[in-house]
Amino acid sequence: MERICIHIDGGNFYHLVLKKLGLKEKDFDFDKFTQFLAGEKRTISEMGKRYYVGTVREKVGDERSKISMALQTSLFARLKSTKWEIKTSKLRTRIEEIVIDQRVQDFKKLQKLGIKSIVFERQREKGIDVKLATDLIVGAIDNKYDTAIVVSSDGDLIPAIDWVRNRFKKKIEYVGFSIADPKNPKNSTRPLLSMIPKTDIQRTLTAEDLKPFIIRLPLTDGEVG
């Protein structure tokens, strides 16, 4: 049978899919999802289910970070129990500033209130794309798969994808998503166009396609998952 490895960029998947659907990672059946991706005529290689994500750190006095860390620890335990390979990196905190000018909606109202800028913390994953790209290359060199399924819309992966396709003649299957954001249509999830000509197989999944993998109903406004 055709051997596959499935690579899921957890942060990318959360922001492009789960968040749009009002879900947390604990609400999604990743094992059932991988079985769907593999289908009946393909087999998942040993340690061929791989999940990449930045690790959450608890902040003293921050209850939300404590909850997030507990949820992630629970997710890791669940994935490891079904033989997932989990690759992590530290979330880096960066201070960013937005200057209130004509680029900001209703900027005149904010300026009249004396607000000149907004300073906030933003957490970013560092190195996740490198780890995923490395696994694609090493897996090709070690002949661990015939087809690698990439569940990530990160264009930084394209050089690695080109390498395994051209050098080792491995197939790459890109899984993208088309999910509307009812609160902000401009922020709706769409497949990454640059991935399409760079991969052998392309699949675009909708919210309806993902319903069978939802463990519980989406969160309501104000609910903490």
- pLDDT tens digits for 44-67? 999 999 999 988 776 767 777 788
- Residue 143 has what DSSP assignment? T
In a domain, 222, yes or no: no
For residue 20, what are the domain limits? Answer: 2-90+124-186+197-213
In a domain, 102, yes or no: no
In a domain, 81, yes or no: yes
* Model pLDDT for residues 165-221, shown as the tens digit of each residue: 999 999 999 999 999 988 888 889 999 999 999 999 999 999 999 999 999 755 444
This prediction has a pTM of 0.82
Considering only residues 110 and 119, tell me which one the structure prediction assigns the higher pLDDT.
110
What CATH number should be reported for the domain holding residue 70?
A: 3.40.50.1010
**Cα–Cα distance for residue pair 110/117, rounded to 1 Å:** 9
**Quick one: which of 30, 135, 44 has its CA closest to 75?**
30
